[in-house]
Structure 1
């Protein structure tokens, strides 16, 4: 059996750096804050343990009527086994049968998950081989059935040019994995993997729009289905991608570029769009003089919301058919651990008088914190149901759909889940 990979917890934004060598916010702790976001009334939920070892959740995902928690079981000797749980309401959970097919599959831990209705795909890994290199596979379940491992050649995700494989996103026309690779031009930079069916992923590592160049070193950290400025077709198809005039088939990916010559390795925000997951275009995003990086993305009405690091705290950006603009700031870095955004959810129904609320979850270097906004300009810090300090092997994940949120916290000793609704 394989062991968990500590490097897997390192943000890809840091991985790319390694290859290169309180404003307008308030705090809410209970009740309702007037016109601001409602404070979630968290309720603990339990995952059924059907395997040996301790349950460990590394990522969560939600589609209308479908909720997923991905991770595995951690055994006393440090080895892991893959596991996936599902729910129709985020409260009552069942284990999904898992079928590994490769030599390393039985020892993998699922680290990223995405869904498209009843279809769900995940990324898993474990250390293996003489040099304990990451052995990475994808996993797919269709129609609510068994989660099957999709074995891949080692050098599709690993090998001498590999730097990191990160998150997975679902789109109307397929699935997209974001990561970092030593691209075809010999430089470390952004790369993606795309498949139309969740099985045969193709790596895109030679697209000039993704590659590092004279403008700087690129890193792509997240993606969301849909491209601004296109028509996505009729609404109500049950695919999890409602029709909207401003978004269409394809993907929008977010990340950063390390500005050449910067004394502090300052980053500028970057957005890429693709109609098919294979050919990409780099979009112009307003950038300030401070360090800025986009780390998470989500659909927001007819547009795309991105959150990430901005200066000494966090910030939001909104993309619409009219272009991208910077929105509000929130949080301040503290402590000695790396800041990181680990969750972004856009929901409806958790507060009166507003159609949408955005919730951003991030580690500020000391501990994980949750912020919410009804207008993207002002953000309110909300109390989490448990305090999780920053640090290795500690992670808090967030997802949401409809009027409900799901939160998973792994503190190195136990994984706990909560859900909240208005």
Structure 2
């Protein structure tokens, strides 16, 4: 975290006022956790003691990104069900690729792209690796150090497809102020960072932009994050998304509606269909959701507003039949929120762990949770 961001966060802690998305805050004694109906979750064991990290789907197959205790640490499994999960061959090349933990998997047709990272070097910064292939095998695409690292580099966030083009999301030092939101496009096997300063992805002396999630939207993309407004005598963090119609096309920012007040607000993730995008995030530490139609956004009414733990993030929504599913961490576990029409219901998540990745697979939901030691567990349920 840079000095500008550290100062901003410190000031926000003194200014924050807890305000919900659409309803007043619960008393502190409730911890913000709403009464949730029970739901049966099946714990799935991975071979060789692997720790689950992230998930994706490819047709009728689930891809499970995992981490092994021995080198090479990154592993990838695929299968239609837990019993059929089999290893996908991986070809790491650079030294840090053998140490990498998956940050993101993206699928388009038969193509699989991935981003991994491992801390190293004198300052313990991430050393990034990008991977490309199919479900029959992935190989690292080794990059020069300066592509994702060196002076001015921020962290990478993930990867997604704009149509058939993969795009990497991260952050990079602005030519003006703080960090810009950064994207990388690929030509052949080489990734190239796009200039953000002076665009909708760039920070200015009065607005610092940040994006923490990327998702495909047909031929385009949507980024979810926040805008920190450096106003005289006040600092305000507002939720925002950025959209583009194609890889390499200009970006547009959409500021999401929020309640008045100074409580920090942020968009965590989004999932898009041809009709609309469903965005989830937090206002004053409580769950909030928005629907986006083009550049028009509305805050959803009636959604339960559990309190998220510090640094907790809602996962990108899933569509399962005629239902929208939202998974959020809460104190002591997680909750699954379901919307059918305009009606919301709440059910309990797995008994342990913070939710970090999930997919819809047929009528099932597969979910990865992570415990306080960083160990991931794979679950499934039929909500």
TM-score of the aligned structures, taking structure 2 as reference length:
0.82
From the superposition, tell whether residues 20 and 202 of structure 1 become closer, same or farther in structure 2 (CA, over 3 Å): farther
| DSSP-derived class of the 2:300 partner | strand
* Equivalent position of 2:380 in the other structure: 419
The superposition leaves residues 338-372 of structure 1 with CA deviations (integer Å, 9 ceiling, x where unpaired) of 23224532222xxxxxx1x22222334x3441232
**For residue 382 of structure 1, what is the aligned residue in structure 2?**
347
Q: Counterparts of 2:115 and 2:182 in 1: how far apart (Å)?
A: 16
Q: Distance in 1 between matches of 2:205 and 2:121?
A: 37
C-alpha deviation, 1:91, in angstroms: 5.7
Corresponding residue number in structure 2 for 1:403: 363
Contact 2:228 2:237 in 1 (8 A): yes
- Alpha carbons of 1:316 and 1:377: their partners in 2 closer, same or farther (altered >3 Å)? farther
- Corresponding residue of 2:67: 72
Q: CA deviation at 1:26?
A: 5.8
Contact in 2 for aligned 1:66/1:118 (Cα 8 Å):
no
1:289 is matched with which residue?
260
CA distance 1:324–1:413, change in 2 (3 Å): closer
Pairwise CA distance, 1:81: 1.1
Tell me: CA distance 1:193–1:378, structure 2 relative to 1, closer, same or farther (3 Å).
farther
Taking the aligned partners of 2:281 and 2:4, their CA distance within structure 1 comes to: 16
Candidates 183, 189, 194, aligned match of 1:192: 183
Q: 2:284 aligns with which of 303, 311, 319?
A: 311
* Contact persistence 1:26–1:379 (CA under 8 A): no
Cross-structure match for 2:227: 257
In structure 1, what is the Cα distance between the partners aligned to 2:311 and 2:56?
24
Correspondence 1:1-400 to 2 at 5 A: 17-18=5-6, 20=8, 27-30=35-38, 39=39, 41-49=40-48, 54-75=49-70, 81-89=73-81, 92-142=84-134, 144-195=135-186, 199-207=189-197, 208-226=199-217, 248-261=218-231, 265-278=235-248, 279-290=250-261, 291-300=264-273, 302-321=275-294, 323-328=296-301, 329-333=303-307, 337-348=310-321, 355=322, 357-364=323-330, 366-375=331-340, 379-388=344-353, 396-400=356-360
> CA shift at 1:300, angstroms?
4.1
1:34 paired residue number? none
Distance (whole Å) between structure 2 residues aligned to residue 345 and residue 264 of structure 1: 36
For the 8 Å contact 1:71–1:111, the answer to whether it is kept is: no
CA contact (8 A) 2:126 2:155 kept: no
Report the RMSD for the aligned CA atoms in angstroms: 3.0
Structure 1: state its 5+ residue gaps: 1-11, 31-38, 227-247, 349-354, 389-393
Superimposed CA distance per residue, residues 262-287 of structure 1 (whole angstroms, 9 cap, x where no aligned partner): 87743212121222222322234334
Alpha-carbon deviations, 1:104-161, whole Å to 9, x = none? Answer: 211111122122233221111112233333210111122x221111111222212221
* Contact 2:158/2:168 (<8 A) preserved: yes
1:301, distance to aligned residue in structure 2 (A): 5.7
Shift of 1:295: 1.0
Q: What secondary structure does 2:50 align onto?
A: strand
Question: SS of the residue aligned with 1:160?
Answer: coil
Structure 2 Cα separation of the partners of residues 89 and 312 of structure 1: 36
Shift in alpha-carbon separation, 1:263–1:333, aligned structure 2, 3 A: farther
| Counterpart contact for 2:271–2:316, Cα < 8 Å | no
Q: Could you tell me how far 1:330 is from its partner in structure 2?
A: 3.2
Q: Is the 8 A contact 2:163 2:220 kept in 1?
A: yes
Equivalent pairs, count: 357
